[in-house]
Structure 1
Amino acid sequence: MDADRLARMDALLDRQDILDCLTRFSRGMDRFDRDAFLSAFHSDATIAAGSFVGGPVDLYDWASAMHEAGQVATHHNLLNVTYDIDGDTAHTETYYLFVGRNRDDSNWIAGGRYIDRLERQDGAWKIALRTNVIEWSGTAPTMPIPFADVEDIHGNGAPSRSTEDPSYQRPLVNRRKKHTP
């Protein structure tokens, strides 16, 4: 294989490892999975998010308490990602869409960008510095959650902000009865 192709493959692997890191942050926050969340950051990282500025452990404690008090569910959706990789340092800009189902049954939505500096240490990409640029926020009309009245809707597991969520089940199996409405 020629050198240019190998270099491109290395770049793709770096991009994928960085995207996996960014995804661990979102999943960790939404599932209240502290280990997954913290695995996205170097232990001495600095994060500026809303009124918070500090390290990853304190961020997790602050953000999980805030989301637990305010919402019954959250989705930190990652959208477009741009990468600027130079050796063992990368800068990314990740557009996001946050959606939260508030405890009063209203829906909060916000959009912005995570701007990160990541560093590869011991072969692993992790966030060293993050700033959160919030660009808009609002509420969406509330509607009933679809199919909530289906008898076995949670037969494969109920959504959970913990490792009890169906996404952690291994192997994933179907426990619901076959049904065509």
Structure 2
Amino acid sequence: MYVTHDRALTAPAHDAAATVAELRDRAEITDALHRFGLGQDLKDKELFASAFAADAELDFRPAASKWGAEPPLMSGRDTIVTTILAMFTGRVDTTHQITNTRITVDGDTARLTALVEAQHLLIADPATHALLKNPYDVDLVRDGDRWVIRRLRIDNSWYTGEPTVIFG
């Protein structure tokens, strides 16, 4: 499920071109997750959408089950973007911090794991919040010279606050 290799790079140390190509891929892979987080935080539809493949899936069910919610699996970039931004825009401020990224690349597909801390505050009542610490399991595909998320599974390690108020 998670990337647990004992090193970051797989390109041979003596092959500079392969190393540079792998480092570029890793930067673009990480950037896809950063576009996901910042796109939500800024409520920037284009930036948020740029993180996803057209046939993407977002599975928030493992995280939501920790507080008894049962959201649907979201399928398709347009559905994901419309659903999440409609749920938050004008109602919830978010900040996402992404750490502990681990990546494995296999040709035109990649796998990323990360730990994401997501703070959600009600705009009308900032004292009402939910702070989530979520492990992410992400499958990505190459899209030209960048990478996009094909499947994102979000689990939850712990939370504070009131996620039922934030997420419904």
Both structures adopt the same fold (TM-score exceeding 0.5): yes
Provide the TM-score with structure 2 as the length reference: 0.75
Alpha-carbon offset, residue 20 of structure 1:
1.4
Task: Give, in whole Å, the separation in 2 of the partners of 1:68 and 1:136.
Answer: 25
1:56 aligns with 2:85: no
1:43 aligns with 2:54: yes
Contact 1:115 1:130 (C-alpha < 8 Å) held by counterparts: yes
Aligned to 2:95: 75
1:118 aligns with 2:140: yes
Aligned to 1:130: 152
Q: Counterpart amino acid of 2:22?
A: A
Structure 2 counterpart SS, 1:52: coil
Contact 2:94 2:120 (C-alpha < 8 Å) held by counterparts: yes
Contact 2:43 2:89 (C-alpha < 8 Å) held by counterparts: no
1:91 aligns with 2:102: no
Task: Give, in whole Å, the separation in 1 of the partners of 2:56 and 2:87.
Answer: 21
Structure 2 counterpart SS, 1:100: strand
Decide which structure has the larger Cα Rg and report it: 1
Task: Give, in whole Å, the separation in 1 of the partners of 2:39 and 2:143.
Answer: 21
Aligned to 1:164: none
Number of aligned residue pairs: give it. 138
Q: Provide structure 1 residue ranges, at least 5 long, that are not aligned to the other structure.
A: 141-181
Aligned to 1:159: none
Q: Counterpart amino acid of 1:59?
A: I
Contact 2:45 2:85 (C-alpha < 8 Å) held by counterparts: no
Hey, which of these two has a bigger chunk of helix by percent?
2
Structure 1 counterpart SS, 2:126: coil
Provide the TM-score with structure 1 as the length reference: 0.70
Aligned to 2:6: none
> Over aligned residues, Cα RMSD in angstroms?
1.9
Q: State which of 18, 23, 27 in structure 2 corresponds to 1:16.
A: 27
**RCO comparison, higher one (Cα < 8 Å, 6+):** 2
Q: Counterpart amino acid of 1:65?
A: A
Task: Give, in whole Å, the separation in 2 of the partners of 1:26 and 1:37.
Answer: 8
Q: Counterpart amino acid of 1:105?
A: P
Contact 1:52 1:59 (C-alpha < 8 Å) held by counterparts: no
Aligned to 1:5: 16
Task: Give, in whole Å, the separation in 1 of the partners of 2:97 and 2:78.
Answer: 21
Alpha-carbon offset, residue 108 of structure 1:
1.8
Give the fraction of aligned pairs with identical amino acids, expressed as a percent: 27
Q: Counterpart amino acid of 2:81?
A: Y
1:101 aligns with 2:121: yes
Q: Provide structure 2 residue ranges, at least 5 long, that are not aligned to the other structure.
A: 1-12, 62-70, 163-168
